[in-house]
Amino acid sequence: MPRFLIHHVTKYTYPEPVRDSANQMMLYPIKDDYQDVQSQKISISGEPFVEVYKDYYGNEIGSFMNIAPHTELRIDSNISVVTKERIFPADDKPADVQWHYLQEIQYIIPYIDFLKQEYFSKLGEVKQIANPSLFADKTVYATVQELNTWVYNNFKYIKGITTVETTLEEIWNLKAGVCQDFAHILLLMLRLLNIPARYVSGYVCPKDSTLRGEGATHAWAEVFIPYYGWLGIDPTNNCVVSDLHVRLAIGRNFSDCSPIKGNYKGTAKQTLEVGVSVSYEDGQVHNEAAAILTPNVVEASLRDDIENAESSNSYRRYMEMVQQQQ
């Protein structure tokens, strides 16, 4: 049972004072049989009151405001979490029985939310790969693994090639992107086959550097396997999720799981710095504080015709997406 010390820093800097900052953070790891959160400390500049509640999908959310003028917003999250290895599906039920099981639950909550399909002009091409007739004789677990490998082999992992503005058509044509793009495409394919699939945000915590996605928040998918339950699948690394991934939130897509989002009144310019550091501990603590990696700095501004306006949610969402782009 590995123990991870995770330090996640988010820092917004504004050239002029802003005010009425209202924010939501999803930085609280999921607590269940596979994740034991031993401790967590979140520090926020200005020391605002944080209201913590659960959303529709059971994620913990912290909500806070900073009304006073300020030129910096910094959020520090320090987590100590122990993860447990999973027993993977036995996969001993006949394929036809498993597919029939999925048909029976497709209109039942919560599965219905994770079967909603996104339509775009290239969906016909995706259907040629994720065609039910091609997988009728294969079990659901085998199908999921095959599609996971297909995305891994056919999409190139290239940082910075996509943004929140990148459409599904562009991602499909590029056959490239980062973790949230890999997860997005896999979700499309799984849902085409009537397999409930949900988006997961979190961290990947390898003991070495063999896994992609270190130094930032990571994204992958969870699929519902008949007679087993939810199982994580990571197309960025072509693996089934076990004890090297720490889950923060689940949802239908990135919007449901954004680590930080909010809005404020003031200048439309800002600088975002994000740093994530993970220390691996095999049962004994060797250092109490994880060093922060050199932050990723992004500077951006809205169009010149937007003056003295409130920063829009879509713009903030772009900045938040940067955390998933590393």
pLDDT in tens, 130-168: 999 999 999 999 999 999 999 999 999 998 888 767 888
Q: How many CA atoms lie within 13 A of 321 on its CB side?
A: 22
Distance CA 258, CA 325 (A): 12
275, β-bridge pairs:
9
Same fold, 3-84+259-324 and 95-256: no
Average pLDDT over residues 40-66: 96
Using a 10 angstrom Cβ sphere, with 0-12 exposed, 13-18 middle and 19 or more buried, the burial of residue 308 is exposed
Using pLDDT thresholds of 50, 70 and 90, give the confidence band for residue 115: very high
- Domain limits, the chain: 3-84+259-324, 95-256
Structure tokens given for 92: 């001993």
Higher pLDDT, 295 or 170: 170
Residue 6 pLDDT > 80: yes
Q: Which of 135, 208, 245 is nearest to 222 (CA)?
A: 245
Check if the beta carbon of residue 306 is closer than 8 Å to that of residue 268: yes
Q: Which of 204, 295, 221, 216 is nearest to 259 (CA)?
A: 216
Amino acid 282: pLDDT: 59
Amino acid 295: pLDDT: 38
Higher pLDDT, 274 or 311: 274
Residue 300 pLDDT > 60: no
**Which residues have C-beta within 8 Å of that of residue 299, sequence separation ≥ 6?**
269, 271
Higher pLDDT, 206 or 73: 73
Neighbouring CB atoms inside 10 A of 160's CB total 12
Using pLDDT thresholds of 50, 70 and 90, give the confidence band for residue 209: low
Amino acid 208: pLDDT: 64
95-256 folds as: C8orf32 fold (3.10.620)
pLDDT in tens, 86-113: 999 999 999 999 999 999 999 999 899 9
CA angle (177 as vertex; 171, 181 as ends), nearest 5: 70
CA 285 to chain centroid, in Å, comes to 27
pLDDT in tens, 165-180: 788 899 999 999 999 9
Residue type, 89: P
Report the CATH architecture of 3-84+259-324: Sandwich (2.60)
